[in-house]
């Protein structure tokens, strides 16, 4: 069974409610109809009902719930809670009343207050605008100090790389320049996500342009320190670094450069030292290597919120909603 098929089956097995704040966007409306038809999740679209139903007039919208933030009976309750949550930042009631009309804030409050299990947006909003309300209001999960992201990558050479061709790349979408402690946390969280969500037997490679001291530079030092911290944070994880990408992925190179490593040559979770390398790498592997890239998926938020690429297709939205639903299970 392919990774997407197993994700969809898992989502169906315990249906969750996902809010899509960009409710009047055509791809979102089409995805909502597909998701409810396939039974992957219950969907709440935010926006004006007439607008949404008009745009979706050729689709089966019978199982899709529509909520208009401007007329919702929950508005006052959400404003009150919003003021409490941002009291330390001096948010006034007037400012909260304005903020709650923004579907991204309204949707985030639905998740925070338990009226939805997860949120997906980003078809027409930037990553920052989608994630900021979640970072401010839902915050990090217990024991986690940094929210990060990953892509599930499914490559063509299934026997050669990852676990049956499936790998996790982190962090490719959120943290521009994590310090050693943050990088270590991203590695440990990714190992857990890889196991729980994707079914990987995690082998985590801390990537660099150096393999075990082959180069000296402060950028390499950060990865070496992060590797040491990650091993202390969770000694049970198979994790090694610093490794170059070929030493991490190619069995013969791994054996040559690090014969004693249980990760080198067999890594299925790649942790990039910063966002430039992570973001560039996943896009290169997707485009030049014709891999399937599913994500970005956020990890470390107390409740699931996920961002879409603005170039996303209807299928991409369906997939990210299914993964969000699983994260909520």
Strands 292-299 and 148-154: antiparallel
Tokens at 228, concatenated: 């040491």
CB of 302 to ligand ACO, least distance (A): 10
Interaction residues for ligand ACO, span 223-282 (CB under 6 A): 279
Does position 220 interact with ligand ACO (CB under 6 A)? The reply is no
Residues 6 or more apart from 101 whose CB is under 8 A from it?
A: 69, 70
Interaction residues for ligand ACO, span 300-319 (CB under 6 A): 309
Backbone angles phi, psi at 305, to 5 degrees: -135, 130
- Residue whose C-alpha is closest to residue 110's, from 51, 50, 44, 63: 44
CA distances from 80 to 89, 108, 135 (A): 15, 14, 19
The sign one gets for the Cα dihedral 56, 62, 63, 69 is: positive
CA geometry: angle 277, 156, 194, nearest 5 deg = 60
CB nearer ligand ACO, residue 146 or residue 226: 146
CB of 247 to ligand ACO, least distance (A): 26
Tell me which of 21, 162, 278, 296 binds ligand ACO, using CB under 6 A. Answer: 296
CB of 56 to ligand ACO, least distance (A): 27
Residues 191/202, Cβ–Cβ less than 8 Å: yes
Binding string to ligand ACO for residues 109 to 148, with x set by CB under 6 A, is what?
------------------xx--xx--xx---x-----xx-
CB nearer ligand ACO, residue 250 or residue 323: 323
Tokens at 236, concatenated: 């049970």
DSSP assignment letter at 138: I
CB of 23 to ligand ACO, least distance (A): 22
CB nearer ligand ACO, residue 253 or residue 298: 298
Q: How many residues bind ligand ACO (CB under 6 A)?
A: 16
CB of 146 to ligand ACO, least distance (A): 4
Residues 271/242, Cβ–Cβ less than 8 Å: no
Residues 283/304, Cβ–Cβ less than 8 Å: no
CA geometry: angle 317, 322, 325, nearest 5 deg = 125
Determine which helix (DSSP H) or strand (DSSP E) holds 292, and give its type and residue range. strand 292-299
CB nearer ligand ACO, residue 122 or residue 194: 122
Measure the CA–CA gap between 275 and 277, rounded to whole angstroms.
6
CB of 88 to ligand ACO, least distance (A): 8
CB of 280 to ligand ACO, least distance (A): 10
Cα 217 versus chain centre, distance: 30
CB nearer ligand ACO, residue 36 or residue 306: 306
Binding string to ligand ACO for residues 148 to 177, with x set by CB under 6 A, is what?
-------------------------xxxx-
CB of 125 to ligand ACO, least distance (A): 11
What are the residues binding ligand ACO (CB under 6 A)? 127-128, 131-132, 135-136, 140, 146-147, 173-176, 279, 296, 309
């Amino acid at each position: 069974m392919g990774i997407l098929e197993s994700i969809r089956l898992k989502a169906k097995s315990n249906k969750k409610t996902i809010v899509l704040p960009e409710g009047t966007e055509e791809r979102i409306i089409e995805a909502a109809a597909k998701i409810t038809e396939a039974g992957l999740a219950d969907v709440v679209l935010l926006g004006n009902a007439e607008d949404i139903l008009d745009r979706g007039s050729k689709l089966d919208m019978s199982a899709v719930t529509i909520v208009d933030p401007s007329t919702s009976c929950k508005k006052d309750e959400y404003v009150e809670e919003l003021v409490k949550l941002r009291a330390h930042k001096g948010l006034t009631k007037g400012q909260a009343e304005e903020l709650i009309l923004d579907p991204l804030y309204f949707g985030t409050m639905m998740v925070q207050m338990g009226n939805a299990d997860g949120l997906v947006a980003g078809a027409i909003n930037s990553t920052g605008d989608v994630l900021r309300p979640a970072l401010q209001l839902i915050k990090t999960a217990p024991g986690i100090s940094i929210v990060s992201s990953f892509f599930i990558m499914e490559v063509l050479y299934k026997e050669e790389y990852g676990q049956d061709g499936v790998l996790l790349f982190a962090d490719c979408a959120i943290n521009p320049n994590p310090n050693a402690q943050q990088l270590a946390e991203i590695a440990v969280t990714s190992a857990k996500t890889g196991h729980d969500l994707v079914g990987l037997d995690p082998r985590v490679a801390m990537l660099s342009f150096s393999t075990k001291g082959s180069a000296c530079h402060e950028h390499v030092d950060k990865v070496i320190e992060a590797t040491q911290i990650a091993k202390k944070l969770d000694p049970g994880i198979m994790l090694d670094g610093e490794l170059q990408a070929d030493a991490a992925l190619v069995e013969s190179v791994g054996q040559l450069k690090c014969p004693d490593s249980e990760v080198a040559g067999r890594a299925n979770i790649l942790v990039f030292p910063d966002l430039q390398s992570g973001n560039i790498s996943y896009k290169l592997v997707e485009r030049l290597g014709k891999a399937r890239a599913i994500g970005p998926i956020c990890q470390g938020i107390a409740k699931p919120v996920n961002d879409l690429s603005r170039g996303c297709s209807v299928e991409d939205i369906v997939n990210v909603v299914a993964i969000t639903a699983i994260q909520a299970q």
